[in-house]
A and B are shown apart, each in its own frame.
Chain A
């Protein structure tokens, strides 16, 4: 009997022996034939990581990425058939590798890649009514609550995360300068886009995400970030379509 535990045992361990009970058509031991499954499992998961982490791959280069990926694949096989979400432990994995100690920003880059992918697959939602909002008297405006679109993601970083993304992914972009940067990911159409958030805006969005009114979110943010620029935060969030209509559909596939 060759149980599935026996068959599994060698799949992610290149040094393990071929399980007993597996053979060629003529009854001789399977040998290298078992390696086909080994290769399929390992390479398909490495390919999934390559698709999922384009920024990390760009920074490390193909060769370095492909030497790290098998280590991750063996230590963290997927827990779900939804390979589109594979790699959620990759940022922490990168942060623990001694050879990457000098690339302290890399785990945040992996988080950005994960957030872009989550945004890509997030639910659709009806657009925010900006014209209606702008026609409100100022007091009514400031007492509004705003709903973050399901595809919106916010990343805080002590690294120049937006500049690192831009430098690596956009041709002729300027070199990053050391400074903390928070990033807003939105999906105006079908393709998620990173945007640079002004200081305090990530905090402000977190307050709005807890259903606080605009004025309450502003006051809470200004108390901890005195230089918080509400006009700049509104401009970047409105132009990038970070919000959706308040009565959004909870799930596109049920509509």
Chain B
């Protein structure tokens, strides 16, 4: 177990950031409003060296969220037991306040495709995803949060809306939810839906964490807007507005700023966290 003098049982309802190794000294020296950090689980599955040494030091100061990107919970095939065991080892060691994963798949056969791929929302996929979530929660011995995806297309065969699908998963498994409002904005724009109506229909009582992040803008074959979840830019104003809309209904929640590509200097990321702090104080 991580030799931490401090224990964080839950993420605080305050700003957090997606942690990057290059920010180590800056975040310790000048955290601003940041009270917690989120790491991508797979980047900390080495045996030692800098990533784990930094995590050891940071866990003295910040609550920790472990965010998996490789479990393929939405996959047609059984979960990768080796990978699930690696997640258990990391969570047993780091004792995070939260563990979360995605409503998506990334493994097919023996291949890992390194992207969060979409699935149709049907009774069959609902039962499969529910059984995977239960397996994760049983293995880790804790509740997990499931994150809504950013969608670029829809499946003709879907019979449930995404919010219905998520609500059913909560009911069947007792899992919590990670509400990514940037993903909501992207999906709503891409599929011609209302982001606010999505929030209204979402099971907000089960939200354990909120994500905001930046995205890119493109167009599809017909010239319609096609937003792409890139995490490489500042959060745009309409996404901050959607965060305000959400927080007005949920009350204060842990809010994470994600910036994974073209990672800026610490002051730029800290300024985004400050903006999340203002949203939480409103």
Contact = CB atoms under 8 A, between A and B. Distances in A.
B115 to A, nearest CB: 4
B49 A122 contact: yes
Contacts of A81: 42, 69-72, 80, 83, 106-107, 112
B220 A25 contact: no
A24 B190 CA distance: 8
A77 interface: yes
Nearest to A1: B157
B5 interface: no
A32 interface: yes
Given A122-B46, A187-B49, A25 B154 contact: yes
Contact of B117 (A1, A7, A27, A78): A7
A26 to B, nearest CB: 6
Contacts of B53: 124, 190
Interface string B129-153: 0000000000000000000000011
A22 interface: yes
B13 interface: no
B49 A151 contact: yes
Given A24-B191, A81-B80, A120-B49, A31 B108 contact: no
Contacts of A77: 111-113
A82 interface: yes
A24 B48 contact: no
Interface string B107-128: 1101111110111100000000
Contacts of A4: 75-76, 105, 108, 117, 119
B114 A83 contact: yes
Contacts of A25: 154, 190-193
B221 A31 contact: yes
A252 B190 CA distance: 45
Contacts of A252: 47-48, 52
A34 B76 CA distance: 19
Contacts of A5: 108
Interface stretch (B163-171, B173-181, B203-211, B222-230): B222-230
B247 to A, nearest CB: 27
Given A23-B153, A190-B50, A32 B220 contact: yes
Interface string B13-51: 000000000000000000000000000001101111111
Query: By CB atoms of chain A within 10 A, which of B43, B46, B70 has the most?
Result: B46
Nearest to B122: A1
25 contacts: A2-B155, A8-B113, A21-B155, A21-B156, A22-B154, A23-B154, A24-B153, A25-B190, A27-B156, A33-B153, A36-B228, A45-B114, A78-B114, A79-B110, A83-B114, A120-B46, A121-B46, A122-B46, A124-B49, A124-B53, A150-B48, A190-B50, A190-B53, A253-B47, A253-B52
Given A24-B153, A36-B226, A253-B89, 16 more contacts: A7-B117, A8-B108, A21-B155, A21-B157, A22-B154, A22-B155, A22-B156, A30-B153, A41-B113, A81-B80, A81-B112, A83-B112, A84-B43, A151-B48, A187-B49, A253-B93
